[in-house]
Amino acid sequence: MSYALITGASKGIGKVIAFELAAKGYNILMVARSEDLLKKASEEIKAQAKVDVKYLAADLSSAAAAQQVFDWTAQNNWPVSILVNNAGYGLSGLFESYPLEQHLAMLQVNCTTLVQLTYLFLPQLKKQQQAHILNISSSAAYQAVPYLSLYAASKVFVLSFSRGLRYELRKTAVNVTCVCPGSTDTDFATRAQVGEKALKTAQKVNMTPEQVGKAAVKAMLSKKAEVITGAINKLGGFLTWLLPKKVLEGGAARIYE
């Protein structure tokens, strides 16, 4: 069995995706920042599934990270048939309240590293009998979100890129699936530094990483183009087509302001 490469695999949705794919017999390549968490997660997977599990601690906000990941797999002759671009984070608050360097680092993780990994691995993926690219976007991709402005915009990029790439690859062995979760019980809110009002709102509609991760793997293996996880999030996505932008943006602003 070939390998599935998952970024942001040490916890949350990425970790669940790693477990799910291991249970289906895929060897696992895990990439994230924390070596300690990667080691722990890899040991947990090995205890549950008889697959090969390797990990690499890498900072995906570095411009050189994607090449580092690709070289790591190439030097070890690990054939990748599934690329899961899951790593990502947000910054909550006024756009101008963060140093530019922090915004650019977020864009590197959410967008640029994703593009670099896709570009580097695509020739290899096209040689497989069947291959998948799974990009994790967000329900925020369907509207502007004041006080999460750049994060939401980065997820618009991921969704649009996935749609276009899927069409380009329609006659190849490579399937592209984009999954757009809503609020999920991970440390996203903590790292994004969202306010108390947003935390309380999220608690009412939170999905678990297990729910989202399992739905993502199912959607990918079913070769679906695009999936919004959760009934409430699907409704929210539908409403973005119906309601005026001013209403949607005002509602989002009141949550995150």
Which residues form the catalytic set?
151
DSSP structure class, residue 207: B
Residue 32 to residue 58: CA distance in whole angstroms: 6
Decide: residue 190, CB within 10 A, 0-12 exposed, 13-18 middle, 19+ buried. exposed
Residues in the chain, total: 257
Q: Which amino acid, one-letter code, is at 144?
A: A
Tokens of 109: 């993780």
Residue 26 to residue 40: CA distance in whole angstroms: 19
Which phi-psi region, left, alpha or beta, contains residue 77 (left: φ > 0; alpha: ψ -120 to 50)? left
Sign of the C-alpha dihedral computed for residues 191, 196, 200 and 202 taken in this order = negative
Residue 183 near residue 237 (C-beta atoms within 8 A): no
DSSP structure class, residue 184: B
Decide: residue 81, CB within 10 A, 0-12 exposed, 13-18 middle, 19+ buried. buried
